[in-house]
Amino acid sequence: MTQVEPVRSRRLAWWGAAAGVLIALVDTTVLGWLGTEFRLSGRDVSWLVATWFGGTLGLTGFLLGDAIEARRGERAAAKALAAARLRVAQSEKLAVLGQLAAAIAHEVRNPLAVVRSSAQGLTETLPADDVEGRRAATFIITEIDRLSNVVSTLLAFARPLRVEARAVSIEGVIDRALALAAETLAQKHVRLVNRADRALPSVRADADLVCQALLDLLTNAAEAAPGGEVSIGAVANAETVEVTVSDNGPGIPAAMRAQIFEPFFTTRTDGTGLGLAVARQVIEAQGGRIEVSDGPGGGARFTVVLPREQAAMRRREAA
Ligand SMILES: Nc1ncnc2c1ncn2[C@@H]1O[C@H](COP(=O)(O)OP(=O)(O)O)[C@@H](O)[C@H]1O
Ligand SMILES: [Mg+2]
């Protein structure tokens, strides 16, 4: 996790000082207009008084601004600390859940394979006219395949993450994720719109892991908007490249947005609740982040932010 050193700004303090000086000048001028004379041994010392007022009020303004700034800084630091604590607690939870998931998955994998091959064998021995029997065997096989898929996801989730970040073309990763998602998108009759800018700068990332995360997002989008539209976009910023996956499904209620990244949180009857937990884990492991917002078409929009290769290189050199 990157720890950001809070940079103390004194902007408010200087504004405070400027306001103090201004008030002093205005006060002295108004007093002059009202007929007040500032004289010392017969000489007009209005400017001396104005400077004195300016100095004291300016200093008061500076100190006041500085105190407000310090208070704000403390509040921001406390907030960052609370967020960091939450992250640590969550990654510990993920680690324990991961171990548990791996243990269960290992136990389940072999019996599943046995059941599948038995069902397969059964179909071969059934008479050709036993329609009911064949249908039942096909159900068994399809459901076993689905369960195996869940088991594989669990194992992928539990495996310790190895990130091999290097300079990669994000366009290449997007094209690969789209090719892998093509079947799911077609099954859900989803129209795909690719709005990604071309000639994007390289990002520093592990291409396989980013592809996996994008695939999860595309699958979720297709599941949320069957028969609808899913669009993928990509733009470059000064330090990052942002990839967005949007859909025109029902969207995600604001109250649910914090929960959807929790492992095993799902609202789908056949969901595992691991897609977004894994996606977030792998993107953050590469120094990126993943965010959710309202999509332009009323559905959900997920944004994956990855560091640009050049920015990452500058940071490495500075370290
Ligand atoms: N594009 C989306 N539109 C609406 N809801 C979504 C979308 N993506 C994710 N969600 C919500 O987040 C939950 C968690 O997603 P995920 O972690 O991928 O698990 P799963 O897909 O197995 O349910 C989903 O069950 C769904 O409620
Ligand atoms: Mg999912």
Residue 228 in contact with ligand 1 by CB distance below 6 A: no
CB burial class (10 A; 0-12, 13-18, 19+) of residue 208? middle
Q: What share of the chain is helix, strand, coil (3-state, %, to 5)?
A: 60, 15, 25
Q: Residue 214: is its pLDDT beyond 80?
A: yes
pLDDT band with cut points at 50, 70 and 90 for residue 192: very high
Name the residue with higher pLDDT: 3 or 213: 213
pLDDT of residue 3: 44
Atom 21, ligand 1: residue with shortest CA distance: 271
232 within ligand 1 shell (Cβ under 6 A): no
91: Cβ below 6 Å to ligand 1? Answer: no
Rounded Cα distance between 140 and 86, Å, is: 42
pLDDT at position 258 is: 87
Q: For residue 6, name the pLDDT band (cuts at 50, 70, 90).
A: low
User: CB-side exposure of 134: number of CA atoms within 13 Å?
Assistant: 8
Pocket test of ligand 1: the residue of 188, 220, 231, 247 to mutate, having most ligand atoms within 8 Å of its CB, is 220
Confidence label for 265 from pLDDT (cuts 50, 70 and 90): very high
Q: How many residues does the chain have?
A: 319
* Statement: residue 308 has pLDDT above 80: yes
Q: For a substitution probing ligand 1, which of 149, 260, 270 has the most ligand atoms within 8 Å of its CB? A: 260
DSSP string, 83-123: HHHHHHHHHHHHHHHHHHHHHHHHHHHHHHHHHHHHHHHHH
Residue 263 Cα to ligand 1 midpoint, Å, equals 11
243 C-beta neighbours (distance < 10 Å), count: 27
Nearest ligand to residue 274 Cα? 1
Query: For atom 5 of ligand 1, which residue has the closest CA?
Result: 252
Name the band, by pLDDT with cuts 50, 70 and 90, for residue 4: very low
Is 55 near ligand 1, meaning CB less than 6 Å away? no
Q: What is the pTM of this model?
A: 0.65
- Whether 220 lines ligand 1, by a CB cut-off of 6 Å, is yes
Using the mean position of ligand 2's atoms as its centre, give its distance from the Cα of residue 247 in Å: 14
What is the number of the ligand closest to the CA of 157?
Answer: 1
User: Closest Cα to atom 12, ligand 1: which residue?
Assistant: 260
**Ligand 1 pocket test: which of 276, 290, 292 has the largest number of ligand atoms within 8 Å of its C-beta?**
276
Our answer on whether the CB atom of 249 is closer than 6 Å to any ligand 1 atom is: yes
Pairwise CA distance, residues 99 & 88, whole Å: 17
Question: In this model, does residue 2 exceed pLDDT 50?
Answer: no
Residue nearest to atom 1 of ligand 1 (CA): 221
DSSP tag of 255: G
Residue 158 pLDDT grade (very low, low, confident, very high; cuts 50, 70, 90): confident
